[in-house]
Amino acid sequence: MKPLISRIGAATLASAMSVSLLAACSSGDDGDGVTLRYFWWGSDARHAYTQEILERFEELHPDINVEPEFTSWDDYWNKLSTSAAAQDLPDVMQVVDPLMYPYIENGQLLDLNTVADAAHLERYSESTLSLSTVDDGVYAVPGGVSGFSVAIAPEAFAEAGVEIPDESTWDWDDYIETAAAISAANPDMAGSDIPMFSQVATVWLRQHGENWWSPDGSDLAFTPETLAGYWDWVIRLRDSGGTPSVETMVEAHGAGSSAAQSLLALHKVAMNPALATNQLGELEETSGGAAQLMIYPGESDAQVTGSFVKPGLFYAASAATEHPEEAAMLLDFLNSAEAIELQKFDRGVPVDPAVVEAVSGDLTETELAVADYNARVTALGPEPLPIPNANAGGAMDELYDRINIDVLFDRLTPEEAAQQFYDGLKAEL
């Protein structure tokens, strides 16, 4: 799982949001059956196994042809919004919250209640559909449950002679001390990344009894003071000597956010404070070593649990597809045991317990570690994440990215940054 909010350009998003219900879709009947377009993002490995999944689907349904379209995360949302503006959305697509909400608001995604039998909506619990349910319409199904964690390289800890903290008791000061100790012991490795995305701030806010959004997404539910406290912690981490330079972090941030490109995978740091858990396999394959998922610091003293698991991505269909039943059939197959046998937990842990049971005998140690992490977080009893605001949610990541970098370069104090972020996000509501 990539970060939950894309770095999409405001102008591009505005273009997509200006389009009302699409008049047409490029799928159709070529005379030999139905043709569907399916668009997704991911790594090369995801592209390869997804095409195998589609081949299996076509074998089961020889009258349906699926045309694959795929790209990287960094390009995906610009291409999707361009397709929306051209009234040419694919029949089936991957989406995430909050970026799916403008498409829902504009009537561009199919209400799956209209094809509930083909989509087998009964397989999904109310909670797993909560983020994709708007005004009683169900506009997407989860592709798997994921979350974010502190990922560490145990070998790096051992080489530095630093003990791995106890995740049940460590706090945010312990994190800084651990990062600094690793850097001090190993001049060729920094202790930790500086968090560049908003996921760690999400955990911080939740631990202080706040959230980005009110339960219905209509308003903000955090205070500038609490967010300033988070950015103060980030500055203390930066100044501890336990991280790469800000210039290095900004360069890595601009290069992309896949696990394979992370400084942890490249053996430049010992801790990554915001790894999407479904990327653990990609991280270990790239780094050539084992990694460990740890629950966030501060949970033992938090007002409420900050860590969370949620659908990492969703599958949706275009409201303009000429073949809604067939599109729903593909959505259903993407979450089938046959599909999960090939993709395992790359898109998250399946939400259907029967599917997990069906593939459990073939799971690797990495996949079992992801499932175990999800179980440990769930045992903490985290509150559900609120639905992001349809307007402000799409603008949040670009705003956060810019202000976070200003904080790291001391162009804004944590207090100034928090107020500026709050006011900017409030204006988008």
Residue 27, pLDDT score: 57
Strands 34-41 and 92-95: parallel
pLDDT of 390 > 60? The answer is: yes
Q: Is residue 3 part of a domain?
A: no
Beta-carbon contacts of residue 416 (< 8 Å; ≥ 6 apart)? none
What would the DSSP string read from start to end of 104-168?
HHTT-B--GGGGHHHHTGGGS-TTTTGGGEETTEE--EEEEEEEEEEEE-HHHHHHHT-PPP-TT
With bands split at pLDDT 50, 70 and 90, how would you rate the model's confidence at 125? Answer: confident
Provide the number of structural domains found in the chain.
Answer: 2
Query: Do 411 and 391 belong to one domain?
Result: yes
Residue 30, pLDDT score: 52
Query: Do 51 and 37 belong to one domain?
Result: yes
CATH code where residue 327 lies: 3.40.190.10
Residue 31, pLDDT score: 56
CA angle, corner 397, sides to 394 and 403, nearest 5?
135
Tell me the H-state helices in 266-345.
Answer: 280-287, 324-334, 337-343
Q: Give the pLDDT confidence of 314-340 residue by residue, as tens digits.
A: 999 999 999 999 999 999 999 999 999
Query: Do 152 and 284 belong to one domain?
Result: yes
Query: Do 83 and 164 belong to one domain?
Result: no
Greater pLDDT, 28 or 356: 356
Query: Do 63 and 124 belong to one domain?
Result: yes
Look up residue 167 and give its amino acid.
E
Residue 98, pLDDT score: 83
Q: How far apart are CA 66 and CA 327, in angstroms?
A: 10
Query: Do 43 and 102 belong to one domain?
Result: yes
Query: Do 277 and 420 belong to one domain?
Result: yes
Q: Is residue 4 part of a domain?
A: no
What would the DSSP string read from start to end of 176-243?
HHHHHHHHHH-TT-EEEPPP-SSHHHHHHHHHTT-EEE-TTSSSEE--HHHHHHHHHHHHHHHTTT-S
Chain centre distance of CA 209: 22
Range of the domain at 249: 147-308+386-428
